[in-house]
Structure 1
Amino acid sequence: MSRVVLLVAAAFAAVAGCARGEVELATVLPLGPLPGGASAIEVSDDGSSVVLVMDRGTFVTGRLERQGDRLTGFIEESRRSFVGPDGEELPQNERDSEGLAIAADGTMYVSFEGTDRITEVGETLRDVLAPPDLPDAFDNEGYEALAIDAEGRLVTLPERNGDGTDDWTLLRLEDGAWGAAFTVPRRGSFVPVGADFGPDGNFYLLERDFTGFAFRSRVRRFGPDGSGETTLLRTAAGTHGNLEGIAVWRGRDGDLRLTMVSDDNELALLRSEIVEYRLAG
């Protein structure tokens, strides 16, 4: 497969002088055509490799190129379709892959909307115990955010909850059953689309809001028990594309990185890009 480096076409923000607790834009890296919009991302501990899940039943692995602490390019290394237990590619109505979590031993888990299921990825997909059923009306607003906590437990929450005014319940898979971990308060019109536990043990939630003409994004941080809610980032409409996936890791300088990916919905008007912020520790 051709391995093409996509160079940054957007200006870098300076990363020096970021005060403790502040979030600062480090890189915006445009991506070339990919098989369906990117809906989830995981980055290796050293920030050098990446897995992208596309919302058409495929995933892409690659390498991230950097100059110092700045992201400068993406090199695609492999591209693969998810395969069902029968050894065949998933049927069209089961390909809406949305969330991604990778365990410490490398096991990969993916959540799907529409069919509202969570799977373990091997040569074929293996269903994990399904989280609670969602109403049919939530067909395209299901379990989009997926993460693994420091104890190795899967957690998830849907994009929509209740009648649009309820708080979200973060669900955790433990001892063979899904139960409530903690409640995520609803703040305004933002909805959850991506999640990760950082190397600091905290829970990071990526949310989006569509204003009718552009997307806004927000990142909130919670303690592992749901305490200490902090809004780290809230962008103006149109600052970035439709950010749907987030990975949190620690750079060589000791500061955290919030690396996010946008879903272009296979539309020319939307952007496909990796966006990276630095969170000074």
Structure 2
Amino acid sequence: MSSSDIFIGEILGTAVLILLGGGVVAGVVLKKSKAFGAGWVAITFGWGFAVLSGVYISTELSGAHINPAVTLGLALDTGNWDHVWVYWAGQMVGAMIGAALVWIAYFGHFQAHLRDPAVAAAEQSAERPGGEGHRPHKGPGPVLGIFSTGPEIRSPWQNFATELIATTVLVLAVLRLGVNSDLQVTGLGGLMVALVVVGIGLSLGGPTGYAINPARDLGPRIVHALLPLPNKGGSDWGYAWIPVLGPLAGGALAAGISRLAF
């Protein structure tokens, strides 16, 4: 695979991942959406299908990493560091494109939701000291949660550990599925990864929203900060390092386990 193929493939795959993943969250939380209130199970399966779509779209061009933690885990496991920066660059660009497409697709719903007096008042209360049960820092509200993740209980060590553990499971599964030639030939590898992501969301997604992908969180968070959304609230940059470094540490740990065990 050439650098250009990898870059384009990762842009396409990650953009579709974020478009469909962020799109299901938008559908569930934005008022006047037909999916409004569908709940956590809809979100977890939506993200699983998003992974499946992104993988199948990008496999031929780039091998479908669509996640910097996967790229890091594969590099550490195989010792092949060629094109790592190309993968990461494509993933970040794709994630930002996907987030912008979610905003376009739900443009009217964002406007209606954020101009609702009750929502605007809640956002402003959350940003004032003592707002939302005296929480000192604003966490991801309905709008930021469409773009990036945040903890239900803000505890850096626990939040980091949750992301590390969840990403270790994901990347270890990817590494082991990658050595199964039958799955690669039949195309079932992508489906297996998607089901692992659904399982992680259902089992480990509750504490932090399971970023398990640095580009998936950081790229859309940047887009949230840049978009001209009324009453959108802050982008919670104080938390942003956890869904980046936690998954990268998980990818590295998965590679270490793989090398030791297999």
Q: Could you say which TM-score interval applies, normalised by the shorter chain?
A: under 0.3
Question: Which structure's residues are more often helix, by fraction?
Answer: 2
Which is bigger in relative contact order (C-alpha 8 A, separation at least 6)? Answer: 2
Q: Flag the structure with higher strand content.
A: 1
TM-score normalised by length of structure 1? 0.23
TM-score (norm 2): 0.24
